[in-house]
Amino acid sequence: MAITPGFFNKRDPEVATPRHIPSTHNNASYSPTGSPVTQPATSATPAPVSASEAATAPEGGSKLTVGPNIKLKGVEITDCDTLVVEGLVEATMDSRVIQISERGAFKGAAEIDIAEIHGQFDGNLTVRQKLTIFSTGKVSGKIRYGKVVIEEGGQLTGEILFGAATPSPKSSSQEKPVLSVANGA
């Protein structure tokens, strides 16, 4: 039985090869002199940080997720681009996007650009751009919006005003509620 020299002695470092390169060269690179050239193992594997950066790059901002069965009460949320509510949030906020999941609920005041409501919102809501209420969504309170989309089954109750801009003293007499809805259920 023949013993290979690297079996008991110090072995040469193994060469890591990316998966996309065919292994026709026996997983080794060779220099012009014919001797094997080794590469560091880290060159073939991506850094773990780059994977997480790639996941957050498309969103382009800060994101806060309040998970299921989490209750967040009595806070002011600022400098948050996207708030995802899967639990219960009682707060005031000024943000870019709010997404309330089917089991999520938000109580308080919010001034945001885009609202996507699958769950419940109760309080003062100012949506500067677009308010979308899905079939399972329920929105109640004092609501101001730029555009509104309500799926069949979605509910909107309370004082509803068109125009998300804060009224100035001169324009408040000209602005009238466009839609008043009462929940008969």
Residue-wise pLDDT tens digits, 99-116: 999 999 999 999 999 999
Closest CA to 125 of 170, 176, 91: 91
Are the C-beta atoms of residues 84 and 64 closer than 8 Å to each other?
Answer: yes
Please, which pLDDT band fits residue 14 given cuts at 50, 70 and 90? low
| Residue with the two structure tokens 């996941």 | 55
pTM summary value: 0.59
Residues written for the chain: 185
Cα end-to-end span (Å), the chain: 87
Are the C-beta atoms of residues 101 and 85 closer than 8 Å to each other?
Answer: yes
What is the reported pLDDT for 163?
Answer: 83
What is the reported pLDDT for 124?
Answer: 97
What is the reported pLDDT for 79?
Answer: 87
Please, which pLDDT band fits residue 171 given cuts at 50, 70 and 90? very low
Kindly list the distances between the CA atom of residue 166 and the CA atoms of 103, 128, 148, 163, 175, in Å, as whole numbers in the listed order: 31, 10, 17, 8, 11
Are the C-beta atoms of residues 89 and 103 closer than 8 Å to each other?
Answer: no
Burial class (CB in 10 A: 0-12, 13-18, 19+), 66: buried
